[in-house]
Structure 1
């Protein structure tokens, strides 16, 4: 007998088959519910469909509402990780109470975990600096007299790095100056434009309610001030680095304590003239004066002389004295093109120092005279106005000419004309201070030395008697930083290895433990007397400042011993030079 389908049947067989096609497994699930729970799923399908429609509609409306809210009622600042402001923001966020309340965060030993080739946290170590005075005392505040006790503590501590916590991927809400803000960290997957330095390409977003983004700009300015402020007492050094996209840009490599200008061995008149000229150039009236007369606002200096006489030291000391950033550029790199060089100079800030060291060794100074018979190449090194060095011997000159000839054939880097155009071409950048150093000024092309490219030239020679005396006094004069209080978190400005010292304990109200400097046993008059004796023992005009400093560093706390051993040391230096000269002559003959 045929079954008659009545209107009360909830779903026709064709409908069940249709549902099974759209919802795989519907027949099996509905059959199981009907068999074991006596529940007819088809009777609830209209309600389930209505619930799905409502859920979809609510989700769509919420998303649409939030989109419109963000579009018209929310201000957002986007920060890209390949820009320096991203480091500023992450540094600032890592110091906020927000990081202490987060349940989802990133733990790392560096503020910018994406930076692979360098650590940009060297300027913010503070109390974790390995030379901090906290490391010179034990748990009770007693100064560690014995080196073994001190080093046993230090070698364990140096294995650990300070952990830094930053917000993880997602949104994080916080309050800033009475405004509700949210920090959004988004990871960019498969970004072809990601820098080679960025292991995790990301973007940062800072948002707030309202159409006025002033609070966001205030936050970014505060973050920038906090980041830059950590280096307010340091000299920041940048170098050129190529990323994955083959673009060369300036990369912050370190921040060092400034070097006092008094430690540079150079005639006081020359030092003062050099610093005064830079100050005059940086004065705003000078820029206006240049502009009003159509003169390019640039300044160049050439420091020349034998190795170890203080050319690089003067550049670093000038940067520290004036609070300028120092940009190092290696012209000897064969991968550096002229376009890269032009881009690097265009990326310089308005006021900075660009240091090109040993431009005579860059392989570009003889390209205008490729013929080996040219006067520039045939001129003997002995004709140089520089004092003779080991590299000025005839044998060394022959070997150097052979190397120069080989390098000029294989070189594919920057040409001399390219360097000249970058320094003072039509499209050359303005506002920077260019300092070039060389050991042999006679090897430089005359076009590189003309006024406009080199505005001031300073010759460095071997130390005179007055320079030797001043260097000795500078090394051994007791300073306040040498015996400061352990309660004061002062970071020493020297990077030399700490010597073993004697200490005294003082029972003051604030329970400070002080350290006695071993140099304090010598009065200023005794130091001056020893300096005069040392200047008499060291021949003037024959020893470089670096060599003298190397000798004095062997007797950091014993100036009297340094004077007693001076004559023996001078003889060893001269013997070493003669041995090097003989070796160079023998190698060239062979």
Structure 2
């Protein structure tokens, strides 16, 4: 019995097969069928049937050929969604409108950079569109690149995976593409400070703000100058060599303490901008021990780590703690979020905290802090942020309402400072009041007395 005129019997399994038949099973049948199709020996219907059979038989080999080709000629880069490279690539894709061929997009509330379809600074809750599950293609320097995004359900969260591929003999085109994305990204961040906040055990960009000059942060000039000089000296290359030669961990810790609204966080963000660093803010109430360790381990080498409201860990006040007690015996106290005191201490002392990093701890209640947190080696400098003095009130008036035509700023600022009680109000409270009169400085002076009385009464009622 033969098929399509083939001279190879179907029972030939017991006979010796040609070498090509061993390498490619069915080769003889396929080649014979092809020869008969092109010789015209078969009817039209039989030819169509044979073509379907040929496609079915050839499919595994075609896929194998494709896999071999991609294995040797396709290059792929993978991008983690929680890393800064993800934002870098997304920025390039959106700015060059390369995502227009995407058949699957994710729509969210909130404007995205360079997304003209959604961006409107004055629009209420604008829509944003981002490439989502699927594949789309775009051209870069006459090379066709493939952007692929997939999502894996891990049970407790959905993990996004992004990759970019191209057919080439070397990965140089992908490296060029990433370099261009990097240059554009850095250009958009010029004179910007990126503020990161933790989301679980990952860092996420919370805001990108204009770098705030230190001169715009109205504080005690002596305090400001002392902290900035200490930081500048620490970051000097000669200082780093000194630390390295003596095998001393190269890190610096600061404790900013004082009442709410006295500028602790604002000053920290301003310092980051002055030093051209990004700032990573830990939300202590929302962190557990494992997340804290992972977050510290994923910090970049050169950054400012800000641990706000460190007192919420729940450490005992000095009068209730034993100074001679070892740090590792104080591990039962924890914040509402689950992070323990011992975890914070171990993290601050650990290897992940010893590489070119600046740590700033803030608290509104210095007396609530355990002495273990603020001992030398963990905190190298303490800075007290006080309520506004009359000189601070005058400086704030001048900065916020000065420079207007036909206005004697010096006289008005003196009058305003004279009506503000010394060390009773925070700079944030004074700023909030002055913002109401940004175009009427005389009104700020005239109504100052009433505002002071009302605020003092409110404070007495809240005690």
TM above 0.5, yes or no, is yes
The TM-score with structure 1 as length reference comes to 0.63
Distance apart, 1:266 and its partner CA? 1.6
Q: Does 1:209 align with 2:168?
A: yes
Match of 1:65 in 2: 65
Separation in 2 of the partners of 1:412 and 1:165?
33
Distance apart, 1:342 and its partner CA? 1.4
Match of 1:89 in 2: 89
Separation in 2 of the partners of 1:548 and 1:57?
81
Match of 2:293 in 1: 342
Distance apart, 1:543 and its partner CA? 2.4
SS of the counterpart of 1:449? coil
SS of the counterpart of 2:243? helix
- Report 1:424-443 matches (<5 A): 424-425=349-350, 428-443=353-368
The worse-fitting range, judged by mean Cα deviation, of 408-417 and 565-574 is: 408-417
Match of 2:22 in 1: none
Change (3 A) 1:560 1:48: closer
Q: Is the 8 A contact 2:285 2:336 kept in 1?
A: no
Match of 1:139 in 2: none
* Cα root mean square deviation, aligned: 3.5
Match of 1:413 in 2: 338
Distance apart, 1:166 and its partner CA? 4.4
Q: Is the 8 A contact 1:366 1:444 kept in 2?
A: yes
- Report 1:549-564 matches (<5 A): 549-564=431-446
Separation in 1 of the partners of 2:119 and 2:281?
25
Change (3 A) 1:301 1:122: farther
Match of 1:332 in 2: 285
Change (3 A) 1:74 1:122: closer
Separation in 2 of the partners of 1:86 and 1:99?
15
Distance apart, 1:417 and its partner CA? 2.0
Distance apart, 1:356 and its partner CA? 1.6
Change (3 A) 1:94 1:49: same
Select which of 218, 224, 227 maps to 2:185.
227
Separation in 2 of the partners of 1:571 and 1:84?
49
Match of 1:181 in 2: 144
Count of residues in Structure 1 that have an aligned counterpart in Structure 2: 417
Match of 1:172 in 2: 137
Q: What do the CA deviations read for 1:539-565 (whole angstroms, capped 9, x no partner)?
A: 222322122112212212111111112
Separation in 1 of the partners of 2:97 and 2:462?
61
Separation in 1 of the partners of 2:48 and 2:378?
81
Match of 2:124 in 1: 158
Distance apart, 1:54 and its partner CA? 3.3
Q: Is the 8 A contact 2:323 2:371 kept in 1?
A: no
- Report 1:18-37 matches (<5 A): none
Q: What do the CA deviations read for 1:461-483 (whole angstroms, capped 9, x no partner)?
A: 122222111111010124xxxxx
Change (3 A) 1:87 1:427: closer
Q: Is the 8 A contact 2:120 2:126 kept in 1?
A: no
Change (3 A) 1:579 1:250: same
Match of 2:252 in 1: 299
Separation in 2 of the partners of 1:357 and 1:314?
13
Q: Does 1:287 align with 2:250?
A: no
SS of the counterpart of 2:247? coil
Q: What do the CA deviations read for 1:242-296 (whole angstroms, capped 9, x no partner)?
A: 2xxxxx1212222223333223232212212212222222333322221111110
Structure 2 alignment gaps of length 5 or more: 6-41, 325-331
SS of the counterpart of 1:76? strand
Change (3 A) 1:538 1:237: same
Q: What do the CA deviations read for 1:290-309 (whole angstroms, capped 9, x no partner)?
A: 11111101111111122222
Distance apart, 1:159 and its partner CA? 5.5
Select which of 527, 532, 536 maps to 2:409.
527
Match of 1:54 in 2: 54
Select which of 385, 389, 414 maps to 1:464.
389
SS of the counterpart of 1:205? strand
Q: Does 1:362 align with 2:287?
A: no
Separation in 1 of the partners of 2:132 and 2:454?
59
Separation in 2 of the partners of 1:123 and 1:47?
57
Match of 1:105 in 2: 103
Distance apart, 1:330 and its partner CA? 2.2
Distance apart, 1:215 and its partner CA? 1.4
Distance apart, 1:315 and its partner CA? 1.0
Q: Is the 8 A contact 1:534 1:563 kept in 2?
A: yes
The TM-score with structure 2 as length reference comes to 0.79
Distance apart, 1:411 and its partner CA? 5.4
Q: Is the 8 A contact 1:319 1:325 kept in 2?
A: yes
Change (3 A) 1:452 1:565: same
Change (3 A) 1:450 1:265: same
Separation in 2 of the partners of 1:165 and 1:427?
34
Q: Is the 8 A contact 2:214 2:271 kept in 1?
A: yes
Change (3 A) 1:124 1:222: same
Match of 1:270 in 2: 223
SS of the counterpart of 1:328? strand
Change (3 A) 1:51 1:109: closer
Q: What do the CA deviations read for 1:452-499 (whole angstroms, capped 9, x no partner)?
A: 211111111122222111111010124xxxxxxxxxxxxxxxxxxxxx
